């Protein structure tokens, strides 16, 4: 690499401590506001920078990479998921891609359990009644939800986050089941008291709660499609803190409205900010604005990983969190 400092473009506002450290190390172009860059702005940023720091709101496809020119050498993603980046095309053009794995594991697992509790115990309904001044006092039949202890939890995707969800669920007395591309090590199963299901269909049909914790890839798009959603028990609920594209949102909405599924807790949505308006009308649905990793500690740690990846690259070495197409 040349002796001068790398030129870095950051596409969104980051925690102040991260931005300050970045300006100390590199020639950085920071955002004045927090709106997502347009497609044209992203293309222009890639054409003028050695490194670009995007996040999940920035879709970088092959057409944009084709306009990037020869200067861009590293896409240091601020986040673990890279399904918004055409990693294979980037590598073909000699552009490395890094991410920030492992940082948001506990935060996202906490949110999954929060959604399970919120849906089963009808917390938003209770809050809405209190905030509107409509509570008429305690009643034996008011706001009755479901007991968490003893429920059968089916985890779809038993990676870092899935295992962290399982650990928390066991503390609440839930029975842990899971489906994964590969069965986890026997020691891990024993520690989590988790039961493996080779058949996703069979697992789903027997669970009280389904937690989606797998990444979005071509093979997981609409993995929870209309057919699989219909396999769920009418008393079951589903939560998603992973990627919205894993669930067929329209099919889920229809089934929730019809009472074929008891409830849902969603932190992510199939079309990003374009949430199905019919979901907003349902009292048995908890909707959150992609808050799974939204802790001060987690967002700062993500920034620190970005800094390490860029600094390592600047020193002429392989970024520690390099993403390769075979990993996806």
Mean pLDDT of 140-150: 96
Let me know whether 71 and 150 are in one domain: no
Share of the chain above pLDDT 70, in %: 98
Structural domain of residue 135, as residue ranges?
A: 105-287
Give dist(CA 313, CA 318) in Å, integer.
6
pLDDT at 1: 44
322-323 vs 96-98, strand pairing mode: antiparallel
Same structural domain, 99 and 109: no
How many structural domains are present in the chain?
A: 2
pTM more than 0.85: yes
Domain of 13, CATH number, reads: 3.40.50.720
Is residue 142 domain-resident? Answer: yes
Task: State whether 311 and 227 are in the same domain.
Answer: no
- Give the chain's end-to-end CA distance (angstroms, integer): 28
Residue 41, CA distances (Å) to 11, 96, 119, 129 in order? 9, 20, 40, 45
Q: Are residues 157 and 270 in the same domain?
A: yes
H or E element in which residue 286 lies: strand 285-287
Does residue 65 lie within any of the structural domains? yes
Question: How many whole angstroms separate alpha carbon 78 and alpha carbon 103?
Answer: 11
Give pLDDT tens digits for 271-312: 988 999 999 999 999 999 999 999 999 999 999 999 999 999
Amino acid 50: pLDDT: 97
- Under DSSP, the state recorded for 325 is G
Q: Do 12 and 97 fall into the same domain?
A: yes
Strongest mean pLDDT among 2-6, 68-72, 156-160: 156-160
- In a domain? residue 275: yes
The mean pLDDT of the chain is 95
For residues 306 and 211, state if they share a domain. no
Instruction: Give me the residues paired with residue 156 across strands.
Output: 179, 212
């Amino acid at each position: 690499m040349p002796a001068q400092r790398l030129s870095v473009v950051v596409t969104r506002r980051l925690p102040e401590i991260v931005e300050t450290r970045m300006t100390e190390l590199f020639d950085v172009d920071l955002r004045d506001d927090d709106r997502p860059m347009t497609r044209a702005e992203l293309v222009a940023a890639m054409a003028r920078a050695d490194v670009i720091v995007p996040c999940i709101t920035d879709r970088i496809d092959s057409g944009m990479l084709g306009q990037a020119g020869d200067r861009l050498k590293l896409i240091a993603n601020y986040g673990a998921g890279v399904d918004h980046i055409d990693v294979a095309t980037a590598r073909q053009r000699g552009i490395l891609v890094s991410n920030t794995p492992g940082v948001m594991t506990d935060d996202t697992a906490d949110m999954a359990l929060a959604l399970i509790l919120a849906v089963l115990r009808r917390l938003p309904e209770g809050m809405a009644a209190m905030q509107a001044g409509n509570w008429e006092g305690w009643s034996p039949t008011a706001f009755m939800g479901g007991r968490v202890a003893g429920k059968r939890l089916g985890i779809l995707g038993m990676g870092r986050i899935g295992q962290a969800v399982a650990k928390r669920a066991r503390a609440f007395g839930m029975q842990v089941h899971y489906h994964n591309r590969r069965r986890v090590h026997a020691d891990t199963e024993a520690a989590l008291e988790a039961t493996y299901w080779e058949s996703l269909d069979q697992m789903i049909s027997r669970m009280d709660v389904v937690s989606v914790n797998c990444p979005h890839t071509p093979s997981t798009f609409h993995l929870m499609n209309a057919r699989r959603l219909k396999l769920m028990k009418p008393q079951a609920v589903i939560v998603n803190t992973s990627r919205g594209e894993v669930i067929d949102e329209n099919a889920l909405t229809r089934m929730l409205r019809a009472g074929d599924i008891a409830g849902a807790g969603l932190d992510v949505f199939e079309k990003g900010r374009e949430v199905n308006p019919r979901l907003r009308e349902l009292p048995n649905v908890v909707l959150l604005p992609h808050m799974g990793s939204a802790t001060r500690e987690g967002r700062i740690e993500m920034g620190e990983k970005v800094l390490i990846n860029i600094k390592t690259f600047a020193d002429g070495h392989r970024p520690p969190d390099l993403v390769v197409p075979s990993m996806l």
